[in-house]
Amino acid sequence: MRSLTLPTRNLAAQRTFYGQVLGLPVEIGETNSLSVHIGTSRLIFEQGDGADGFSHIAFDIPRTLLAQAEDWLRARVPLLADPQGRTVFGPTDSWNTTNLYFDDPPGNILEFIARHDQPHDGSGPFGPRSLPHISELGVVVPDVPQAVVGLGQRFGLHAFNGQSETFTAVGGHDGMLIVVREGRGWFPVGRPAVPTPFELSFADGQGTRFLRHTDLEPR
């Protein structure tokens, strides 16, 4: 993903978290916005409408720096645990990834994901500049199959690794939408998914494309 824009209800808290806690490069916009540089991606927060919800966002980490990334993250934020108390997840037979989850101040569920089949390697030490890009966004819809069909027709994005009525990933390892039904619990904490406004840009064979939450509304 090239850029992802989300609403926030507390721009100052986001600036402190992403800029000071995580140490990522941040820029303050002229009109109540904050831009966070994450490798080749930008995460933009705008103070305004729709800021009462939350999103799920994943950042890739180098597969060779997984242990360093875990230590680095634990020193800065609490990791989210499942009901059994586990905080490190994977790999599994269906997803050859290892996943770490944490919150930002407004409650967005963030994820560090090491994709063991992808050549995202690094020599360390792990730090903010080790993150190559934003790789996932959770998209909450009333009808998952319908939304997946629409994404295929309009943007050429298709199901990745299976489909279900409540959860389908579309895209690929370098950029993926996690399409879930409203109310489904987000892993690992089970927090019910709620629709949140967003705008993202991504590159494909046609150049830069834009996707907004309104593109997924039933027609």
Which residue, 212, 182, 217, 216, is CA-closest to 6? 212
Is residue 211 within 8 Å of 202, Cβ to Cβ?
yes
Residue 192 structural domain: 3-216
pLDDT in tens, 104-160: 999 999 999 999 988 878 887 999 999 999 999 999 999 999 999 999 999 989 999
The pTM for the full model equals 0.94
Q: Where are the alpha helices (DSSP H) in the chain?
A: 11-16, 66-74, 144-155
Chain-centroid distance of CA 69 in Å reads 17
Q: If you ran DSSP here, which 8-state letter would residue 9 be given?
A: S
CATH code where residue 45 lies: 3.10.180.10
Low pLDDT (below 70) residues in the chain: 49-51, 219
Number of independent structural domains in the chain: 1
